[in-house]
Every structure is written in C-alpha cells, then in structure tokens.
Structure 1
Amino acid sequence: MFEWLLENGWILWLVLFLGLAAVETLTLDLFFVMMAMGALAAMISTFLGAAFFLQVIIFCVVSLLMVLVVRPVALKHLKRGSPDQLSNVDRLIGESALTLDIVTGESGTVKIGGDTWSARTLDGSLIPAGERVAVTRIDGATALISAPARPQAADSGAV
C-alpha cells in the first residue's frame, strides 16, 4: 500500500487539494485555500519526479508562504471598505420612502428603493398615501418612519 502511494502520490495531493478547497468553501477565511495551493504545488512536483519527502517539504513551504505572505494581502483587499460602511438594513436608515397607503402607529406600507416594506410611524401620527417620508429605524421587517419637515411657504404678501 505504501509503495503504491509513493508511486501514485499525485492522488494523495489531489485528494488533499480538493478536501482543503471544500473546507475553504465552508469557512471562507482564506486559510484552507492557501494550504490547498501547497497541495497543488506538491502534486505538480510529483509529476516532475520529486521524491515523496521533497513533496512534503514543498507542501509545507508553499503553504506557509501562502499563509504568511499572500493571505494578509488578500484579506486587506477583501476588507477594502471603510469600517463604518453600512450594510443590509442599516443602510436604509435615513433613506426616503413613499407611503403606499395610510401609515399609522399600528400599520401601513411604504416603498423603499423599489421594495415594499410594512411600516408604522414612530409617534403614532397618521401619514396619508403618496407622501414622502424618512426611514428612522428598522424593527425586524417593519420600517419605522417619520414625516420629513415640510418647508415653510414663502410669504408673498403684497402691500
């Protein structure tokens, strides 16, 4: 069995490569993919006729270099956004919404960026359909809204 493995070492490295790549798809932390690259390098060295102990050394060295050199650079590029960048529903806060029907402190619906949300007012006031409102908070699947301050009409008093 051991002799067969030495003669067909590429199968060992291929299985290790595929296994590490599969684990990476579950963890997504760019660690196991670096080790998979080490297994790929060891598999290539098998085809070039390297001895098994040299294949193991190549696996270890390439994996270590990938983890220490390539992974930090890759993580930096993946996390390029600013730390205060909002995601998911947090980015909806402060957005403008259009009331689709009457919104009260109990119920209503609004359209936010093309999506229809259930809504209610923060202060329990009544906002008629067709009004532009501001999203103040998201509570589960409900947008809590408030009517934006209406601009005062300029006095055109003629004397």
Structure 2
Amino acid sequence: MAPVDIDAWVWWLIGAAALGIPLVLTAMPELGMLAVGAVAASVAAALGAGTVLQVVVFALVSVALIAVVRPIAARHRAQRPELTTGVEALKGKSAVVVERVDGSGGRIKLAGEIWSARSLDSDLAYETGQQVDVVEIDGATAIVM
C-alpha cells in the first residue's frame, strides 16, 4: 500500500485544532489567535501558496491578532463596570428627609422607598423635607449628609 500524501492545508487545520484544544482547557486567548493564524495559513495553502508564504501568513495573522486584540481585552478587563446595581447604585443619590435624621437615626425617602437613615456627622440633624445625599449604606441604614 502506497503512503498517502496529506495536503499542506490539512496540516494547517490539524495545527489549528491542536491549538484550539489547549485554548479550551487553559482559557489562554493567545492560543486562539494562533489557531486563527493557522486557519489563515490553511486558506493560503488551499489557494496554492508555497510553504514560505504559508508560514508568513501564519506569522502575520497571529502577530497582528495578538498585537491588536490583547491591548483591547486588557483595557476592557481594567475598566470598572459602568452600571452599578444594588446598594452601590444608591451611593451618591439624593433623598428627602421624611422624619428628622440625626446621629441616632431617622427616615428618608430614597429611590421611591422609605429607608432608615442616620447622619454621617452625629452633631448634624436634618429636618423633614430637607434634601440629603447618601454617602454610604450600612446594612439597611443609609448614612447621609
């Protein structure tokens, strides 16, 4: 039986799959970018490009993806989420005093709900109808100033 010659484009696809498996196991996006480079080299091979051109296509596509995608991903990873939820979203909001608020307690209307509140500065008191700002949420109590 004669040996079977496998076309170069098939080898590149095998290489792409071989890079894809550790990508899934390790979650290293660089391996995915190398796999895309191997697929691009496979396309070049299928179109009849020589071995040197296939390697150049692989290298150029892989390096370009790593150079462009990694900084974008790092920037997105470093950004704080723009949408805050829960009690974090209440910090900095304005509220209206519905029952005198001082260092020992009181009540405010915050985001349409009645909250227990206390003054950040225990010497200050806020009267009914006065507008206050929420500085912090401590359990179920809003700390205001």
Higher strand share: 2
| TM-score, structure 1 as length reference | 0.45
TM-score of the two chains, using structure 2 as the length reference: 0.48
